[in-house]
Amino acid sequence: MTYSAVLFDCDGVLIDSETIATRSLHRSLLRLGLDYSEDEVGRTFTGHSWPDCMKMIEASLGGALPDSFMTDNEQFFNAALRAELTTMDGIERVLDRLDRPFALVTNSRRNELDMKLEVSGLDAFFPAAHRFDAETLGVAKPDPAIYQQAAAAMKVDIRDCLVLEDSLPGLTAASRAGATVWAYRPLVSAAQMAELSIARTLEHWDEFDLS
């Protein structure tokens, strides 16, 4: 199949940020007195938008989060991101060789996304018009509307797009939007992949081939 456009998730697909985010959130949850392991934090929150994460944490806490929670977590996360963030091995070669339009679609907040792209060096590949974030669009994965809106903005049919995702919220959104979906180092089970009709799995960007 010839795809009109390729849409990438950001965290865990373009950049190796999910371990940093998990460690940062784990630290913040411990400071609240919530007894999560790092693995539990990763399984529970990875791929969800920040507002959805906040709701889930408040449900576990049984009340509203303190005003300092977001600021403290953001400061720790941003410092770790600037010190440690790397791209996923081989993604620059993929982006450099792509011969059709491409963009990223993410649950990240816009200022956080812009910082991630700047620090990783991927900002040159994704002009502002090709950065679609949940905060700006007003809709987040697993809602398929986030991918449908991104495709419409690029003037392509989402059914003619290829999407690269890793998390359950992202894979769900892309699949339900009607795109062809490839899973990059998926964080889901084989049964979940089958249920979502994931077309292909990649473990390294060297495996990416549209020919």
Asked whether the whole model's pTM tops 0.75, one would answer: yes
Per-residue pLDDT tens over the stretch 51-74: 889 899 999 888 899 988 989 988
Q: For the chain, where do the domains classified as CATH 3.40.50.1000 start and end? A: 5-16+86-207
Per-residue pLDDT tens over the stretch 154-194: 999 999 999 999 999 999 999 999 999 999 999 899 999 99
Is 18-84 a domain of CATH 1.10.150? yes
- Please, what is the end-to-end C-alpha distance for the chain in angstroms? 9
CA geometry: angle at 38 spanning 21 and 168, to 5°? 65
Q: For the chain, where do the domains classified as CATH 1.10.150 start and end? A: 18-84
Instruction: Name the one residue in this structure whose structure tokens are 């940020």.
Output: 17
Tell me, what's the pLDDT at 187? 87
The β-bridge relationship of strands 180-184 and 102-106 is: unpaired
| Cβ atoms 186, 47 nearer than 8 A | no
pLDDT band at 49 (very low <50, low <70, confident <90, very high): confident
Give domain 5-16+86-207's CATH number out of 3.40.50.150, 3.60.15.10, 3.30.750.80, 3.40.50.1000: 3.40.50.1000
